[in-house]
Amino acid sequence: MSLALDALTILAVSAGAFFFLAGTVGLLRFPDALSRLHTLTKADNLGLGLIVLGLLLQVEGPFAALKLIAVWLLTLLAGATVAQLIARTARPGGRPV
C-alpha cells in the first residue's frame, strides 16, 4: 500500500517538475508577452498542483493535507488574478487597471 502511494507520489511530483521545466522553457523561448503569460499560468497551476497532489499522499493527518490544499487554492486564485492584470498591461492599447 505504502509502496503504491510512494509510486504515485513520484509520478505526480515528476509530472509537476516537468511542468515547471515547460514553464521555464516557454518563458525563455516564446516570442511575445501574451504567449509567455500562457506558459507561466501552466507552470503555476499544473506544476504546483501536481506537486501538491503528490505530497498529499505523504502527509499524516487531515490538517496538514488541508494546509497543502490551501496553498494550492491560494496560488490558483492569485495566478488567475495576476494573469489578468499582466495581460492588461502587456496588450498594446490595453485598458489600464
Sites of contact with other proteins (CB under 8 A): 6, 9-10, 13-14, 16-17, 20-21, 23-24, 27-28, 33, 36-37, 40, 43-44, 47-48, 51-52, 55, 58-59, 64, 67-68, 70-71, 74-75, 77-79, 81-82, 85-86, 88-90, 96-97
Query: How many Å apart are CA 96 and CA 69, to the nearest integer?
Result: 33
Closest approach, Cβ 1 to other proteins, in A, equals: 14
DSSP annotation string for 16-40: HHHHHHHHHHHHHH-SSHHHHHHHH
Burial class (CB in 10 A: 0-12, 13-18, 19+), 2: exposed
Distance in Å, CB of 83 to other proteins, minimum: 9
CB of 86 to other proteins, least distance (A): 5
